[in-house]
Amino acid sequence: MAAWVIALLAGGASVLSFAPFGLFPLAFLSLALLAWLLGRARRTREGLALGFGWGFGSFVGGVSWLYVALNHYGGMAAPLAALAIGLFCAYLALYPALAGAVFVRLRPQGAVARAALFAGLWVLAEWLRGVVFTGFPWLAIGYSQTPPSPLAGYLPLIGVYGVGGLVAMVAGLLAFATWSRPRAAIPAAGSALALLAAGAGFQGTHWTSPVGAPLSVALIQTNIEQGLKWQPEQFLALLRTNAELVRGAAAELLVLPESTLPTLADNLPEGYLDALGGLAADNGGDLVFGIFHRDEQDRIYNSALSVGRSATQFYAKHHLVPFGEYSPPLFGWFYGLVDIPMADQTRGAPDQPPMELGGQRIALNICYEDLFGAEIIRSLPQATMMLNLSNLAWYGDSLAQPQHLQIARVRAIETGRPMLRSTNTGMTAVVQPDGSVSGVLPEFEQGVLHAEVRGYQGMTPFARWGDRPALALAGAILAFVMLRSRSGRPRGVEAR
């Protein structure tokens, strides 16, 4: 029981390695504690329990802000909302639990071999969490390693899952060599330092290069309270607020956030879209904004439209949020417990061309979509920059806003492209290809972020190969250890 509590607390502490805290070394220590406990476990079910405990602590500490959406804005009763979030965190914890069980079942002899197996299983578990049932990769441990972490240098090569594997590798070396076998401390520390030093060296590599003239952008943060957004009596006031913000922002590219007009496009007052386009053109550019769109078959899309000097262009969100934007099969009953507007949406096409605006080719993604690096790179090499429209007002004043900005930083580094963000309540920002944030608006304040942004061309290794190299290496490690295990070699016994 004591070991399980330690694993639970270690998982909870891992949240401090992510934004806004940014204590990235804690990711190594947190996983090292889990690895050390797994190294001492005697039975597979102990590994399952330890991995589950670590995961449950991490997810309850890191994504419990989902409760705000269900209870405060969705109207679900507090006990039911708490139960739903608890069950969801328990589901997410099954992935580190699986990694823990397999590790205890297969653990080989030798500290380095154990560290490699731990790292490989961690990569596979996090990748599975990011794809099964459409995936929820939030809090993948690699997201904690944005600059100044030296491991950030690996992001353009092997992506967030690969970097998560390196975190687990360093943690395994700490646990299995330095802590459990003091005589192996020096070579283990040397190996860990070599990984960190190589990552720091890669940070000086420029995989992409600027293209075209700088683009002037105005990223608008509307700061409209979520509880007011869908009230019919507020509708005309919201339309006026959006128009006034566009009128006061001069740039080649003006951006309003996700669902900034909380209705279907064909329900807008006659001439409103033309008026927005005229305001953008008068300010010297084009406006991109979030709205819901209905096609001829009555299918509804969470979409973005552009109006202004250029021809109107359209993007429809492809990766939808389960239970928020569509109902998974057999879960229609869920919507009897919660009130979420526009919850019956249709996916857009997976391969949509970038918008051509202001001499740049801009790849759109809406809110949650930027969690999926393998999907983001579909727009490359055509896209020269990326644009995310979000509305995190659903989650109140929580960790969701800074965590989401950190995810955007990882996407920028992986692709070697700037990431522009226009959000309702935060964090509206400009992220450069090296992951640095060159401008950001305060959360929960209305404002406009003006910036000059360069487009970039070229391909990072991750943009070319995606997650395949990291998954191939992780799979090879697992296969090798399984073959050794089947050949009858004894599994090692943890040194005391």
Catalytically active residues, by annotation: 258, 317, 367
d(CA 139, CA 197): 24
Asked if residues 300 and 264 have their Cβ atoms less than 8 Å apart, the reply is: yes
How far apart are the C-alpha atoms of 459 and 321, rounded to whole Å?
Answer: 29
- Between CA 278 and CA 82 the distance in angstroms is 47
Q: Which residues pair with 292 in a beta bridge?
A: 264, 302
> How far apart, in whole angstroms, are the C-alpha atoms of residue 212 and residue 379?
18
Task: From 134, 210, 149, select the one nearest 18 (Cα to Cα).
Answer: 149
Q: Is the dihedral of CA 127, 128, 131, 134 positive or negative?
A: negative
- Return d(Cα 312, Cα 366) in angstroms, integer: 18
CA distances 274 to 76, 243, 309, 413, 496, Å, are 39, 11, 11, 37, 74
Q: How far apart are CA 82 and CA 69, in angstroms?
A: 11
Rounded CA-CA distance 126/135 in Å is 10
Three-state helix/strand/coil letters over 165-192: HHHHHHHHHHHHHHHCCHHHHHHHHHHH
- Helix residue ranges per DSSP H, 107-154: 111-129
Residue count of the chain: 496
The DSSP code for 333 is G
Which string of DSSP letters, residue by residue, matches 200-235?
A: HHHTT---SEEEEEEEEEEEEE----HHHHT-GGGH
Residue type, position 262, single letter: P
CB 396 within 8 A of CB 72: yes
Q: Residue 119 and residue 103: Cα distance in Å, rounded?
A: 10
CA end-to-end distance (rounded Å), the chain = 20
Rounded Cα–Cα distance for residues 430 and 419 (Å): 6
Cα 17 from Cα 144, distance rounded (Å): 6
Q: Helix (H, G, I), strand (E, B), or coil: what is residue 274?
A: helix
* Three-state DSSP state, 104: helix
> Looking at this protein, which amino acid is placed at residue 4?
W
- Point out which residues pair with 302 in neighbouring strands: 292
Under 8 Å CB-to-CB from 354, ≥6 apart: which residues? 361, 362, 363, 364, 379, 382, 383, 384
